[in-house]
């Protein structure tokens, strides 16, 4: 059932798609056994590695959700997309791009070596930790709560509720994240940071510890897919230019040193987090009216068993299968 081409040329009802997605989730759930949950932030080790869930929200309002779809988890690195968006909205694109580059590193998300060996003028991109911490230092405000207020406001606008901080995850990361502190000191020494180091790190740990669901990720993805506009009422939530840049960065840098393979085999902008979340999206593609979610969609995936790059192992395979079946690729 899972392998092989399907003829989608039939009435695309939600119930009909649901059967397929249920089938694919139970097939790919077996792959969670090949991965490990993150343990370098101690509390993340408590996640159930067999979990796998997906939520897909179309621009036309159609929703398909399957598997472990109701489990809240912390947003982790997926927050980097949103702080980048907020920083661009606060400071303007050119200000941010003068200080953080848009190049993939080909290295791990928490690498320091790349900064030092290449003696870069600015961190490589806003989605590796060095770039994200630099972006967070550029958020307006003196305290972490002031810096994060527009981030929460953006979430609230997109989701119609205000997600909360998971204090246990925040404290676990704050008390264990020596690598991010080392990156922070390196950035301080090299003059990249625009705010106090401790405030910046506190803000960064907090933004990573906001609790969301895959429905939230799908909705955020759907709005970014739609160039920042809410398709229900055409309200601009994110400026078009910023949304488009976020999509380009998700495609080139969103899956860290697996971004090339993800672009080649899945072909959609995406961003992963170490708690097992992935946000993905497919912009409107007018090439074949018989395909599901042709007018664009956002996708949220949760699967805490990770591969060696820090991406959800079963989540990537599930996305690859769906993208191929439904021709979601942007290429
Ligand atoms: O900074 C960290 O290490 C975590 N708070 C976030 C890392 C992360 O999500 C990487 N993603 N795969």
Q: What is the ipTM of this complex?
A: 0.97
Q: Which residue has the higher pLDDT, 4 or 75?
A: 75
Q: Is the dihedral of CA 27, 74, 135, 242 positive or negative?
A: positive
Per the annotation, the verdict on 204 as an active-site residue is: yes
CATH code at 77-208: 3.40.710.10
Residues lining ligand 1, Cβ inside 6 A: 76-77, 109-110, 129, 173, 180, 208, 272-274, 310
Minimum mean pLDDT range among 87-101, 271-285, 286-300: 286-300
CA–CA separation, 82 vs 285, rounded Å? 24
65-88 pLDDT, tens per residue?
999 999 999 999 999 999 999 999
pLDDT score for 2:
46
For ligand 1, the distance from its centroid to the CA atom of residue 283, given in whole angstroms, is 26
Q: Does residue 57 have a pLDDT over 50?
A: yes
Candidate list 55, 77, 79, 259, residue with the active-site label: 77
Candidate list 256, 275, 282, 312, residue with the active-site label: 256
Compute the average pLDDT of residues 173-198.
Answer: 95
Domain ranges, ordered by start, for the chain? 14-75+212-326, 77-208
Q: Which two tokens stand for residue 219?
A: 């909705």
Q: Is residue 8 very low, low, confident or very high in pLDDT (cuts 50, 70, 90)? A: low
Domains 14-75+212-326 and 77-208 equal at CATH topology level: yes
Q: Is residue 117 very low, low, confident or very high in pLDDT (cuts 50, 70, 90)? A: low
Q: Residue positions in the annotated binding site for substrate?
A: 77, 129, 173, 180, 204, 256, 274
Q: Does residue 1 have a pLDDT over 50?
A: no
Q: Which two tokens stand for residue 282?
A: 């497919």
Q: Which of 274, 307, 308, 312 to mutate to test the pocket of ligand 1 (most atoms within 8 A of CB)?
A: 274
Q: Which atom of ligand 1 is nearest to the CA of 209?
A: 5
pLDDT score for 308:
94
CA–CA separation, 330 vs 268, rounded Å? 6
pLDDT, mean over the chain: 93
Q: Is residue 6 very low, low, confident or very high in pLDDT (cuts 50, 70, 90)? A: low
CA–CA separation, 64 vs 62, rounded Å? 7
Per the annotation, the verdict on 77 as an active-site residue is: yes
Of 256, 253, 252, 229, the closest CA to residue 241 belongs to: 229
Helix (H) or strand (E) holding 64: strand 63-67
pLDDT score for 108:
80
Q: Does residue 4 have a pLDDT over 50?
A: no
Largest CA distance in the chain: 60
Q: Residue positions in the annotated binding site?
A: 77, 129, 173, 180, 204, 256, 274
220-255 pLDDT, tens per residue?
999 999 999 999 999 999 999 999 999 999 999 999
177-187 pLDDT, tens per residue?
999 999 999 99
131-141 pLDDT, tens per residue?
999 999 999 99
Q: Which of 110, 134, 272, 303 to mutate to test the pocket of ligand 1 (most atoms within 8 A of CB)?
A: 110
CATH 3.40.710.10 fits domain 14-75+212-326 = yes
Q: Which atom of ligand 1 is nearest to the CA of 311?
A: 12
314-325 pLDDT, tens per residue?
999 999 999 999
Per the annotation, the verdict on 295 as an active-site residue is: no
Q: Does residue 286 have a pLDDT over 90?
A: no
For ligand 1, the distance from its centroid to the CA atom of residue 28, given in whole angstroms, is 24
For ligand 1, the distance from its centroid to the CA atom of residue 1, given in whole angstroms, is 35
Is 266 within 8 Å of 329 (Cβ atoms)?
yes
């Amino acid at each position: 059932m899972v392998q092989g081409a399907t003829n989608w040329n039939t009435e695309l009802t939600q119930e009909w798609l649901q059967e397929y997605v249920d089938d694919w989730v139970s097939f790919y759930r077996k792959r969670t056994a090949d991965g490990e949950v993150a343990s370098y932030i101690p509390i993340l080790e408590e996640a159930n590695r067999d979990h796998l869930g997906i939520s897909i929200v179309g621009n036309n309002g159609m929703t398909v959700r399957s598997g472990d779809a109701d489990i809240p988890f912390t947003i982790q690195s997926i927050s980097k997309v949103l702080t980048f968006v907020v920083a661009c909205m606060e400071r303007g694109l050119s200000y941010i791009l003068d200080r953080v580059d848009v190049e993939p590193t080909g290295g791990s998300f928490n690498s320091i070596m790349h900064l030092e060996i290449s003696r870069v003028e600015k961190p490589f991109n806003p989605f590796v930790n060095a770039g994200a911490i630099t972006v967070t230092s550029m958020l307006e405000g003196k305290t972490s709560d002031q810096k994060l207020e527009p981030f929460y406001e953006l979430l609230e606008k997109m989701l119609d509720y205000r997600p909360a901080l998971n204090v246990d995850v925040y404290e676990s990361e704050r008390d264990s994240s020596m690598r991010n502190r080392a990156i922070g000191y390196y950035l301080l020494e090299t003059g990249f940071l625009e705010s106090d180091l401790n405030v910046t790190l506190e803000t960064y740990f907090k933004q990573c510890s906001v609790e969301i669901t895959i429905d939230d990720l799908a909705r955020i993805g759907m709005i970014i897919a739609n160039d920042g506009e809410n398709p229900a009422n055409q309200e601009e939530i994110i400026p078009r230019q910023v949304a488009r840049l976020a999509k380009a960065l998700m495609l080139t840098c969103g899956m860290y040193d697996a971004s090339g393979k993800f672009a080649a085999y899945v072909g959609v902008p995406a961003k992963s987090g170490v708690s097992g979340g992935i946000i993905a999206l497919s912009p409107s593609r007018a090439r074949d009216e018989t395909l599901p979610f042709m007018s664009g969609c956002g996708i949220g995936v949760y699967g805490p068993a990770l591969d060696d790059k820090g991406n959800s192992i079963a989540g990537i395979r599930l996305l690859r299968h769906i993208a191929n079946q439904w021709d979601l690729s942007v290429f």
